[in-house]
Amino acid sequence: MTGHKPDFADLLTLDSVDRDIFRGLCHAGAPMRAFGGQVAAQAQVAAGRTVDPDRRMHSLHGYFLRPGRTDSPIVYLVERIRDGRSFTTRRVSAVQDGETIFSMSASFQLPRDAEETHQLRAPDVPGPENLPRWWEPIDEAPEFRPFLLIDIRSSRSPAGRTDGSRATDGTGRATGSPEAASAAPESTAGDGMPRQNVWVRVDQTLPDDPLLHVCALTYLSDLTLSSTAYLPYAGLPGRLDIVSLDHAMWFHRPFRADDWLLFAQDSPSAGGGRGLSRGVFFNQDGQAVASAIQEAGLFRR
């Protein structure tokens, strides 16, 4: 594919329409459907534009209510819920053609030092420099042009399973026969959860704006998280559609989204047509910098 790479920051750029009202456009994901990670990240940008710059976003909780389209602008309406001495709260509604397609609450905090600290240990996986780029369709399909700004690396599980992970062929699809796939939940080692570990980063240098890096990580998290719940069923007959229902994130420590981050993901449950996935981002020093949880609809055709 040839042509000029756009700046990743352009994907999150919003126009100011009025006080607490912003407007943005989304690139194509599924045919004519806006990529949910971009909608959530733009909503974060809108919220952050109404908050003092010395405050840092530490959490968000969002619901995907309707699919967004790529041929019409999205308007972001920000409500100023609270401005406290330490914490600031905002609510954002993403509206397209008069209908709310996404709703989010976000909380910001004035940074402070605290003695209390503990964190999950990072899994022992190969580093990104020893792994191939993972999502080959990114390089082949024109509709994924914006994803050329993203680098994703994945360790390919050997036949069988490692640390309870589902064996994959490197694209998220399960290896082996449909019969083996159907038996995977029962034969998975340990606690029975499907797992995947991927290294991600924005594949260009970003400005030193902490809000941009937080929003970029939300964008990155939506690329692979819901597919974790899908892993045990990938080899079964028929087509399984995955639709994000809600998304929550917590930001624990400073990080840069243009540095390699390990996204360790698992899925503790799937049932009732919904799959729950969760993940923790680690920097290359092994520090847990952010957590994410998402529930997605799993619909077989």
Q: Which residues are designated catalytic?
A: 222, 244, 294
**d(Cα 31, Cα 105) in Å, to the nearest integer?**
28
Element spanning 229, H or E: helix 227-230
**d(Cα 221, Cα 139) in Å, to the nearest integer?**
19
Show the tokens assigned to 118.
Answer: 């503990």
**d(Cα 253, Cα 211) in Å, to the nearest integer?**
13
User: Rounded to 5 degrees, what are φ and ψ at 229?
Assistant: -70, -20
55, amino acid identity: R
Show the tokens assigned to 246.
Answer: 């809600």
Task: Go through the chain and tell me how many residues it has.
Answer: 301
19, amino acid identity: R
**d(Cα 250, Cα 269) in Å, to the nearest integer?**
21
